[in-house]
Amino acid sequence: MVFLDIHAIQAVPPANINRDENGSPKTAQYGGARRLRVSSQAWKRAARKAMEAASADIPESQRTKRLPEVLANELTKRDPELGPRAAEVADATVTALFGAKTPKKNGRSVTEYLLFLGAAQRDRVVDLLLEHKADVLDTVGDTKKFTDLLKRIKLRDEVSTGHPPAVALFGRMIATDPTLNVDAACQVAHAISTHAVDAQFDYYTAVDDTDEAADETGAGMIGTIEFNAATMYRYATVDLRSLIDNLDGDRGMATDVAVSFARAFLCSMPTGKRTTFANNTRPDFALLSVRTDQPVSLAGAFERPVVALDSDGEPVGHLARSVRALAQHHVLQDEQYGTAPEFHTANYPAWIAEDAGRPGGSGSGYLPPSQPLPEGLAATRAALARLVGAPDA
């Protein structure tokens, strides 16, 4: 077993990154206190998009209900002579492959649920359909004959192997055909604030430019937006053995994908209300741990909410105290269980290191030395490669 644990402490200014059905920032009760929360789904999507955008070596993926339309467009682009029959072929293919019904919505064929495929998988499906174009067009109107044809040309193999990194990491569930499911190699926790939070509101007005030109007073619009500001604890873990299996045994790719995900997870931000708040921060502290026992979340460090006041009642902020709590919990829990990571590296600014020597500071001996993120990621990849038997980068 080999796991890559990714921990981060991140100060987020006023924001509404991830809101509930009422438009309020999501929250959770933890340690008897209300905490700001960002769902794992929100950060997973942000990390997936960031990972695919950051490197041409990471194949793209697509999660959509409109796979019939996507396939039809690709078929038409590659073979314009198909014309309207492309949509017929695409609908029948999606139904036969995934058992997913394709009712019409606004004149477009859609599936009942989101389907998650790699762009390369989609292209291979189109390749096979066009390679057997004559047989496809002859049988597409007969469900049994068309299904038998797809089995004969092994179209199913194109979506059950060769998964892109995103599918290998985050998994895929096909409700109508569990044999096409992919178990996720990655777990992402809901991010929570390390301290208690209270709801805050922005009362805003918008000016009507025409009224202003006519020298009229008053607002053209009045409203409120709920927001919060918090120091967050974020955690994710990657199971390298599962990732290798999902990538058809490619150990080198698995280590590359795990490290690419770590960087994307650390440097991404969900997009909720970003034009209103511009809350584009990065983690102030990051810790990467490679373990061979089990993945270990350090959320317990914040079961007791961090307090931003010193003994004199002066505000000192949540960030340094959150880092201290995390670093101590990281070491003390391994001492408690008699375990240790195979490798770890941290990334943090100098002032946090300076804080280690102060009374009530982070505590020398608890913080690993800080490395610039590129160096830390390279060292992490080397540790993973050694443990899973992957080639050097």
User: What's residue 356's pLDDT?
Assistant: 47
For 348, phi then psi, to 5°, come to: -160, 160
Which of residues 207 and 381 earns the better pLDDT score? 381
Which of 149-153, 291-295, 296-300 comes out lowest in average pLDDT?
149-153
Distance of CA 3 to the CA centre of its chain: 17
DSSP 348: -
User: What's residue 127's pLDDT?
Assistant: 93
Which of residues 308 and 99 earns the better pLDDT score? 308
User: What's residue 54's pLDDT?
Assistant: 84
Residue 229 CB-density burial (10 A; 0-12 exposed, 13-18 middle, 19+ buried): middle
pLDDT in tens, 334-361: 999 999 999 999 999 988 776 644 444 4
Which of 28-37, 95-104, 108-117, 374-383 comes out lowest in average pLDDT?
95-104
d(CA 376, CA 370): 8
User: Quick one: pLDDT band at residue 215, thresholds 50, 70, 90?
Assistant: low
Tokens 């198909």 -> residue:
82
Report the share of the chain in percent with pLDDT over 90: 61
DSSP 214: T
Beta strand ranges found along 25-172 (DSSP E): 27-30, 33-38, 61-64, 104-105, 108-109, 115-118
Q: What is the mean pLDDT of the chain?
A: 89
Average pLDDT rounded to a whole number, residues 172-196:
92
pLDDT in tens, 82-124: 888 999 999 999 988 887 666 666 667 788 788 888 888 899 9
pLDDT in tens, 236-276: 999 999 999 999 999 999 999 999 999 999 999 999 999 99
| Residue 62: closest CA among 120, 126, 128, 108 | 120
d(CA 209, CA 206): 9
The CA distances from residue 179 to 22, 64, 153, 173, 293, in Å, are 37, 19, 18, 9, 29
- The answer to whether the Cα torsion of 181, 185, 187, 188 is positive or negative is negative
Tokens 């290998």 -> residue:
168
User: Quick one: pLDDT band at residue 365, thresholds 50, 70, 90?
Assistant: low
Contact 71/125 with Cβ under 8 angstroms? yes
DSSP 368: P
Contact 5/237 with Cβ under 8 angstroms? yes
User: What's residue 286's pLDDT?
Assistant: 96
Any bridge partners for residue 34, and if so which?
Answer: 29
How many CB atoms lie under 10 A from the CB of residue 1? 12
d(CA 41, CA 36): 15
Tokens of 97: 């492959």
Residue 21 CB-density burial (10 A; 0-12 exposed, 13-18 middle, 19+ buried): exposed
Tokens of 260: 């690419």
User: What's residue 162's pLDDT?
Assistant: 85
User: What's residue 208's pLDDT?
Assistant: 76
d(CA 264, CA 48): 7
